[in-house]
Amino acid sequence: MNINQSQLRKIFPPAVFIVLFLPNISLAFLSDVETTKEQSFTASELVLDIESEINDIYLGPGHQNTSIFSLTINTSSTSVDSLYVIESSANGDDAFCSSLSLVGRNGGLSVSGLVDSFTTTEISTFGNWIFQIAYDDSQLNFKHGASCSVTFSIETWQSNMDRHDAGYRDLREVAFEVGARTVVLNEILADPDGIDREFIELYNNANEPVDVAGWIITELTGSGAVTEHIIKSTPTGASDLIAYDGSGATTVPANGFLALRFNGNSQYLNNDGDTVTLIDSQSKIVDSYTYETAKEGNSDARVPDGTGLWVDPIPTPNEPNIATEADLVKLSQSLSDQMSVTDEDEEKAEESVNEGVGESETPPFVDNSAIQEGESSEENSGSESDVVESVTKEDPESLEVEEPVYDESEEIDLETKDEEMKLEDEDAIDKGKDDDIELEQTEKEEEPQLVEEELESASRPKEVIEEPEVQIKEEIL
């Protein structure tokens, strides 16, 4: 059916009217605009705050074999609960790095391990850590100057999430160097007797030789000024130090000596006291020793070589130091003094370690046992002193020693036991006597038979005597 324009004009107005005014039909969506109140959104953050007091550390035999330093770990966030771990890695001389160990304490928590693999469990307690680094003196297959770079990695994360998936996290690193020191001052002769020369002897504690050419030894003049003396194979000045034996050697052998003397005829070491300091080619102080008035003809020397205390024996350049009887007495007294540590000394040592780095709930480095978080460093929650104190507060008389109460039945029991033991002993004696009597009777019964056999054997021809003799012996045995 075709519809023309005139027909459309007739249909369109009614259709428009129906669409516009028909109820329950709308051609538009309602809209509204509301003004909201002010809102603020703040993103939380988790940032580590690390404070370290770590300088370069030098360890070695004849020097210090341990060093203590602190590390304080906190976070800047108070709105996010977090955990953290401490891990360490090491790079450098493999032999030296593998000889280094760590012990760390944070309150009641103690963790130990090697520097190249040290790691803690997940920890929730932040604050101050006290670390002790030490080397294993049974491993000396490294030479003087060996270095180990140690890096602490401290990672923290949101405690209600997995460490590797946490939204809030932070990682910080703290690095420091540990150097090996194996060469030491070993003997000093300041006031030689007769035509002897002043000398300074070095000792190498390691299993590798060390060339000390270019190293410097300083001492003080009479006025207190510092004088430097350079170790050379070919001297250029009177104050240079050369090999004592004139060989021109500048290498200290492994576990060996190198005695040095001044090139000129002048005397440099003060007889009334001096401080001798050994400085390596990197301008690092290796060792230092101060002596008081020197005894003529006696040196100041370590006994034993390389690691021992200083005494004043007879001079032994390039040879092992020998202690006199008086030196041995002095060494014994010194060792005794070192081993007798008073309570006051322990308190001072703890205060020295913890000074400026916070308090620790346990004395640092009582042992190297690893105690994981949540475990107490003591086996029982209450110490013996706590128990005694609590009992004393409740009833002071409860600590008095009570006299034992006499019980007559106990005495009767003891007497009964004694009688039983006596009877057992008598039975054993009687049994022994019976055994002896039985053995004696047996021997008496066998004796006539043996005599008879011997007589019969005597009457036989000689060629057959051997057989009965054998039989008799066997029977006797």
215, 301: one domain: yes
Residue 118 within any structural domain of the chain: yes
pLDDT of residue 80: 79
Query: What angle, rounded to 10 degrees, do the helices at 408-459 and 466-476 form?
Result: 180
112, 236: one domain: no
Tell me the pLDDT band of 262, cut-offs 50, 70 and 90.
very high
Residue whose token pair is 């330093």: 69
Residue 402 within any structural domain of the chain: no
Alpha-carbon radius of gyration of the chain: 46
The C-alpha atoms of residue 441 and residue 174 are separated, in whole angstroms, by 94
pLDDT of residue 324: 78
Q: Is 144 helix (H, G, I), strand (E, B) or coil?
A: coil
187, 115: one domain: no
Tell me the pLDDT band of 286, cut-offs 50, 70 and 90.
very high
Kindly state the percentage of the chain with pLDDT values over 70: 58
What's the CATH number where 81 sits? Answer: 2.60.40.2410
Q: Which residue has the higher pLDDT, 88 or 469?
A: 88
In this structure, of 154-158, 242-246, 395-399, the range with the lowest mean pLDDT score is 395-399
The range of the structural domain enclosing residue 287 comes to 183-326
Residue 287 pLDDT > 90: yes
The C-alpha atoms of residue 354 and residue 51 are separated, in whole angstroms, by 14
Residue 475 pLDDT > 80: no
Of 326, 349, 373, which residue sits at a domain end? Answer: 326
Q: Region 90-101: what's the mean pLDDT? A: 95
Residue 100 within any structural domain of the chain: yes
133, 252: one domain: no
310, 194: one domain: yes
pLDDT of residue 12: 57
172, 201: one domain: no
The mean of the pLDDT values for the chain is 75
291, 232: one domain: yes
pTM as predicted: 0.60
Residue 35 within any structural domain of the chain: no
What's the CATH number where 264 sits? Answer: 2.60.40.1260
113, 234: one domain: no
214: left (phi over 0), alpha (psi -120 to 50) or beta: left
Strands 241-243 and 257-262: antiparallel
273, 221: one domain: yes
Q: Region 11-39: what's the mean pLDDT? A: 50
Tell me the pLDDT band of 84, cut-offs 50, 70 and 90.
very high
DSSP string over 201-261: EEEE-SSS-EE-TT-EEEEE-TTS-EEEEEB-SS--STT-EEETTSS---EE-TT-EEEEE
pLDDT in tens, 195-204: 789 999 999 9
pLDDT of residue 77: 73
Of 309, 326, 343, which residue sits at a domain end? Answer: 326
Q: Which residue has the higher pLDDT, 409 or 261?
A: 261
Residue 18 within any structural domain of the chain: no
Residue 43 within any structural domain of the chain: no
229, 174: one domain: no
What is the tally of structural domains in the chain? Answer: 2
